[in-house]
Structure 1
Amino acid sequence: MKAISFGGGVQSMGLMVLAARREIPHRCFLFANVGHDSEDPRTLDYVERVAAPYARAHGLDLHILDRVTRSGRRETLWGRLMRPGSRSLPIPVRMPNGAPGTRSCTKDFKIAVTGRWLREHGAGPQAPVEVGIGISLDEVARASNRHVEPYERITYPLLDLRMRRADCLSVIADEGLEAPAKSACWFCPLKSRGGWSELLRDRPVLFERACELEETLIARRAALGRDPVYLTRAGRPLAEAVGAAQDELPLDVGCDSGWCMT
């Protein structure tokens, strides 16, 4: 088996187009959904409206996977963070000095979820599955950060093909498909200041919910006698640290690659 870890972003959609053209040998795509309340709504919409129909039309298997607990309950990242009494901090929140904390969100809600599916379908130390990751040439430094599990063998098809993000956008456009948005949780603390400003400007309801999350985490930490944590490196609450972005220029600029498994 050869599978692609599909995040719904530009690079992974580029890989899907390459697979449809049989320029790479992968036919299986695994999208670990961290939750309807956690994934960026634009990504979920794109997967349902564009990626899934495209996969079906070209004989590709796109599997949308959820995290399921031992009790059979479907768990989301937002749900874990906001659960009453929870002390879990799986996202890389920012300390008062701006430094990011440790995180387990990618491992728990992406790697473990796809890994469980792979093992259920025959993967193991004696028969590892080749898992393709959508890291392009312009972000090659990310390729060394992926932990390898015994049941998998990690490959980087875009690096092998010397493809950059712009090349992925080109192959997507060549198919007559719209380009996907950045794939990441909408409340991820790794979001840039500009990304938060755009969220405030374009999707204020989500921005308000991010402020709610931050306030909840701060209050929870205070009750435990611990320092506050934030969603930006500014060392102060999100609502104070971020102003709305200016209107976008009529030019597609900047990096749109996701942070996790895309």
Structure 2
Amino acid sequence: MQSTALLVLAATGRIDYPVFLFANVGADSEEPATLSYLERYAKPYAATHGIALHELHRIRRDGSTETLYGRLTRPQSRSLPIPVRMSSGAPGTRSCTADFKIKIMGRWLKAHGASPTTPARVGIGISLDEIHRVNNRRAMPYEQPVYPLLDHQPPLRRTDCERIIAAAGLPVPGNSACWFCPLHRRMYWAELRRDRPDMFERSCQLEDLLNERRARLGRDPVWLTARNRPLRTLDAAQETLPGFEPDADDGSCDNGACFT
């Protein structure tokens, strides 16, 4: 949503950003609607207005592409790069954003001249209603993060982003995230089970796979929600209303590389 609003602002000359980056964690990992929107709307719109929109991937040394889902499901893998919920309910260590978003974009920036002495000005799509995600201390040495939606006068909220996108004749996109991300709210899982049961079942199977491996290693189970029980046992009828979820994480990624 916010990144697409920035694309429209750049295309209409209201901000000066000739290059946009999208780090794709994998066609098997990203929310399918995000990838569809990228191909059907974002890329053609950017091209029409002379903006370079680069889709980046994690490339191994042998030239093959690694995906986040592929890393999670690789035979004999012990890697848990996503912030699964531990037995205590707390999220585990997350390396997915760093490995599949930040580092990938960093490589591109450095390959195109960014350095500690000449840092790239990187506009991050964080709106006023999520200002708590701003944290300059996490900036990489080769970048200078700025927040065009916050610097706008007046600062722009999510609803403003919706208006800007619609005024450009584009459909308003949904949130971007991996479909199996443990930072999703419970309402997401309820809607996924209702609207896309096949993808919900894939999420359940991924959780099962991770716990089968942990059981063989003698470790406690992990979960894709903070309810500390298998995803498939959650009762959709008991899901709380959006905004009233005491244990919900807002999916915050204060470097702005994910969930924007």
Structure 1 SS opposite 2:135: helix
Matched, 1:180 2:173: yes
The match for 2:231 is 238
Q: 2:107 aligns with which of 110, 116, 121?
A: 116
Using the alignment, how far apart are the partners of 1:242 and 1:60 within structure 2?
45
Distance 1:257 1:227, change over 3 A: closer
Matched, 1:32 2:23: yes
Are the equivalent residues in 2 in contact too, given 1:198–1:244 (CA < 8 A)?
A: no
The match for 1:224 is 217
Using the alignment, how far apart are the partners of 2:81 and 2:185 within structure 1?
19
Shift, 1:26, TM fit:
0.4
Per-residue Cα deviation, 1:27-68 (whole angstroms, up to 9, x for no partner):
100000000000000000000000000000100000000101
The letter for the 2-side match of 1:31 is: F
Structure 2 SS opposite 1:173: helix
Using the alignment, how far apart are the partners of 1:51 and 1:258 within structure 2?
23
Matches for 1:99-138 after TM superposition, within 5 Å: 99-138=90-129
Using the alignment, how far apart are the partners of 1:257 and 1:183 within structure 2?
10
Q: How many residue pairs are counted as aligned between the two chains?
A: 245
Using the alignment, how far apart are the partners of 2:238 and 2:194 within structure 1?
6
Q: 2:34 aligns with which of 27, 38, 43?
A: 43
Distance 1:257 1:215, change over 3 A: closer
Using the alignment, how far apart are the partners of 1:146 and 1:44 within structure 2?
30
Are the equivalent residues in 2 in contact too, given 1:134–1:261 (CA < 8 A)?
A: no
Shift, 1:145, TM fit:
7.1
The match for 2:51 is 60
Using the alignment, how far apart are the partners of 1:261 and 1:72 within structure 2?
27
Are the equivalent residues in 2 in contact too, given 1:200–1:245 (CA < 8 A)?
A: no
How high is the TM-score relative to the length of structure 1?
0.90
Distance 1:116 1:245, change over 3 A: farther
Distance 1:141 1:258, change over 3 A: closer
Are the equivalent residues in 1 in contact too, given 2:121–2:144 (CA < 8 A)?
A: yes
Structure 2 SS opposite 1:23: coil
The match for 1:144 is 135
The letter for the 1-side match of 2:225 is: T
Per-residue Cα deviation, 1:165-222 (whole angstroms, up to 9, x for no partner):
1000000011111000110000000000001001111111111110111001001111
Using the alignment, how far apart are the partners of 1:245 and 1:176 within structure 2?
38
Structure 1 SS opposite 2:138: coil
Matched, 1:76 2:70: no
Structure 2 SS opposite 1:17: helix
How high is the TM-score relative to the length of structure 2?
0.90
The letter for the 1-side match of 2:37 is: Y
Distance 1:24 1:187, change over 3 A: same
User: Gaps spanning 5+ residues in structure 2: where?
Assistant: 240-249
